[in-house]
Amino acid sequence: MSVSDSPVKGPDVSLYPYSPGEDAPLPKDGDRTARIVDDEEAQNLSRGLQERHTQMIAIAGAIGTGLFLGLGSSLQTGGPLGALLGYALVGLVVCAIQIALGEVSALMPVTGSFVRHVEILVDPALGFAIGWNVVYGCFMSVPSEIAAAVVLIQYWTDLNAAIWVTILIVISAVVALLFIRVYGELEFGFAILKILLIIGIILMGLVIDLGGVSGTPRLGFHYWKDPGPMVEYIASGSWGRFLGFWAVMTNAVYSFSGVESLTMAAAEMQNPRQNIPRACKRVFVRVTVFYFIAVLIVGMLVPSNDPRLGNESGTASQSPFVIAAADAGIKVVPSIINAVVLSSAWSSSNQSILAGTRTLYGLALKGHAPKLFLRTTKNGVPYMCALLQIAVSCLAYLTCSNGAYTVFNWLLDLTSAGVLFSWGTIALNHIRLIQAFKAQGVSPRELPWHNTWSIYSSFFALFMCVLILFTGGFTVFTTGNWSASSFISSYLDIPLVLVFYLGWKFFKKTKTVSLYEVPIQQALHEAREDVENVPVKKSKWSRLNILWG
């Protein structure tokens, strides 16, 4: 391998072109701007997340209110079969996204994950646009989740909402500013609670369905026959049933959102090049199985035409599992589900803080945000990023005013398409990486983790993300269903990202990164030189551990 005599700058400026099959020049020692994993994050951030934290963080992020409370809406819209097919299709997209994220992140385990990857592999301007879109979405999600938590708490008490908002903001601030290991342990505990609840309600659902509760008949697949497996939505006939199935997509995407946050704090993980692929593989299987069984059971327990499915209280009373338990005379279930959903809301808030602060830190590393946000505590926490996030969290006090809360929800809805932008970016990054390997004559097998078929699954995921992004708000274009607020929440994020992208491109005169300029050799060099990059030792316990082993 030949090493250039002159230093080569990293992805913000072009590497010197070379012919396919020729090794890319490596930078001189000490040229920190050429490194993929920046010295700033390598030295100032603390690797406090272990393998079990990594895997359970992703599970905690993907299992939340969308599963516990949102299945009822999907069942009402698509019917038991329509909901099952909708979640299965989005589950395939999530599988492709997880594989793509794992392959790229194992090679480049950087803070900010796919936001940093896109500027290395596609265009710095796109990294700026997607990065600030993620930051905005995460920053707005924290007060939203706090507001949701307050609604859940008021299921038990009528105490002034401002008191609970204050308590939750203070607790979130403490977690955000403490050592990353504290966050990891909290999410580990939340994930265990969620998994135990899912297993419990699935078993409860099976007992109810099979007539195991005294005084309740055996249901079987009765509701698949009456009122039927699919629901006519907006239109009639087969077209109406298809629209019902397609309308489930948005709910399914929301339910799975959070899996992309797995690698946001990659620079704070122990042995990320080994643990990230392991987490991506295991998390997808566990989450998909949980969702698939849960959707199937719900369709067997509650008819799609049950009016209670339209309840939008935001508490456990709108859960189809609670509806089924109430019909079976099981009274303790609502409080249990409400308590775990409350932990889910707080968990989602913590994850948004982690993703938002680490993305902002990554933007500051590349000059896309003020250097002020690079300041860290002695424990390696980017405290300036956390303080800004905490300040924005005070928007949760708007819940105390109905009019202000409406405005707040409108602002939050602007980022409803953000998860599809994130997933599409992950797929695009992977496609570009594999194409760069081929253009430079390097075998993709050199990657720390690679699957030969993953390039095709990434194209499928990218296509589906774009399709759902543009058709997710289709109902507003049907006769009699026009809603300005629904149109804005579904589509305004698209021009916002375009404005960010074109504005930064014009201001900084950035260029699309050529496939020959992607710093593959530098990334492979760092992977080979990483002293942590060794296979994870398996214990006898890990073989029995079905959650994170």
Tens of pLDDT, residue by residue over 194-205, are: 888 888 888 988
Whether 65 shows a pLDDT value over 50: the answer reads yes
* pLDDT given at position 537: 62
* pLDDT given at position 300: 92
Q: Give the single-character DSSP code of 13.
A: S
Confidence (pTM): 0.87
Whether 284 shows a pLDDT value over 80: the answer reads no
* pLDDT given at position 355: 86
In the structure encoding, which two tokens stand for residue 258, read together?
């959070």
Question: What residues does 265 pair with on adjacent strands?
Answer: 111
Whether 34 shows a pLDDT value over 70: the answer reads no
Contacts of 315 (CB under 8 A, 6+ apart): 151, 152, 154, 155, 338, 341
* pLDDT, mean of residues 23-34: 43
In the structure encoding, which two tokens stand for residue 355, read together?
């993703």
**Are residues 495 and 123 in contact, defined by beta-carbon separation less than 8 angstroms?**
no
Lowest average pLDDT, out of 62-66, 185-189, 270-274, goes to 62-66
Cis? peptide before 109, omega within 30° of 0: no
Q: Which of 357, 350, 390 is nearest to 187 (CA)?
A: 350
* Helix, strand or coil, per DSSP, at residue 375: coil
* pLDDT, mean of residues 222-232: 92
**Are residues 228 and 235 in contact, defined by beta-carbon separation less than 8 angstroms?**
no
**Are residues 218 and 210 in contact, defined by beta-carbon separation less than 8 angstroms?**
yes
Question: How far, in Å, are 147, 396, 438, 446 from residue 163 at the CA level?
Answer: 12, 11, 58, 55
In the structure encoding, which two tokens stand for residue 522, read together?
């530098």
pLDDT class of 81 with cuts at 50, 70, 90: very high
Most confident of 67-71, 244-248, 414-418: 244-248
* pLDDT given at position 10: 38
39-523 CATH choice from 1.20.1740.10, 3.40.50.170, 3.40.30.10, 2.60.40.3950: 1.20.1740.10
Q: Is 308 exposed, middle or buried (0-12, 13-18, 19+ CB in 10 A)?
A: middle
Taking the C-alpha atoms of residue 37 and residue 48, their distance in angstroms, rounded to an integer, is 17
* pLDDT given at position 521: 92
- Alpha helix ranges (H) inside 478-549: 484-491, 493-508, 520-529, 540-544
| 196 vs 34: which has the higher pLDDT | 196
- Alpha helix ranges (H) inside 366-492: 383-393, 402-413, 418-439, 454-471, 484-491
Distance separating the N- and C-terminal Cα atoms of the chain = 39
Taking the C-alpha atoms of residue 383 and residue 374, their distance in angstroms, rounded to an integer, is 9
In the structure encoding, which two tokens stand for residue 13, read together?
């400026």
Q: Which long-range contacts (CB under 8 A, 24 or more apart) does 191-195 make?
A: 191/56, 191/57, 191/59, 191/60, 191/63, 191/347, 191/547, 192/56, 192/547, 193/340, 193/343, 194/59, 194/60, 194/63, 194/64, 194/340, 194/343, 194/344, 194/347, 195/59, 195/63, 195/290, 195/547
Taking the C-alpha atoms of residue 118 and residue 128, their distance in angstroms, rounded to an integer, is 9
Summarize pLDDT for 329-360 with one digit per residue, the tens.
888 888 888 888 788 778 878 888 888 898 99
Residue entry with tokens 């994130």? 422
**Are residues 292 and 87 in contact, defined by beta-carbon separation less than 8 angstroms?**
yes
The count of other CB atoms within 10 Å of the CB of residue 234 is 16
String of b and e for 203-227 (b: at least 16 CB within 10 Å)? Answer: ebbeebbeeebeebeebeeebbeee
Question: How far, in Å, are 56, 196, 205, 292, 338 from residue 297 at the CA level?
Answer: 24, 16, 6, 9, 19
Contacts of 30 (CB under 8 A, 6+ apart): none
Q: How many CA atoms lie within 13 A of 391 on its CB side?
A: 7
pLDDT class of 54 with cuts at 50, 70, 90: confident
**Are residues 102 and 349 in contact, defined by beta-carbon separation less than 8 angstroms?**
no
Question: How far, in Å, are 281, 394, 525, 531 from residue 408 at the CA level?
Answer: 37, 11, 47, 47
Instruction: Tell me what percent of the chain is helix, strand and coil, each rounded to the nearest 5.
Output: 70, 0, 30
What's the mean pLDDT when you consider all of the chain?
82
pLDDT class of 13 with cuts at 50, 70, 90: very low
String of b and e for 405-432 (b: at least 16 CB within 10 Å)? Answer: beebbeebbbbbbbbbbbbbbbbbbbbb
* pLDDT given at position 441: 94
String of b and e for 87-123 (b: at least 16 CB within 10 Å)? Answer: bebbbebbbbbbbbbbbbbbbbbbbbbbbbbbbbbbb
For residue 519, which phi and psi values (nearest 5 degrees)? Answer: -75, 65
| 132 vs 378: which has the higher pLDDT | 132
Whether 57 shows a pLDDT value over 80: the answer reads no
Give 165-176 as a DSSP string: HHHHHHHHHHHH
Summarize pLDDT for 209-221 with one digit per residue, the tens.
998 888 888 889 9
Percent of the chain topping pLDDT 70 = 83
* pLDDT given at position 100: 95
Lowest average pLDDT, out of 9-13, 168-172, 372-376, 530-534, goes to 9-13
In the structure encoding, which two tokens stand for residue 265, read together?
């704090």
* pLDDT given at position 315: 64
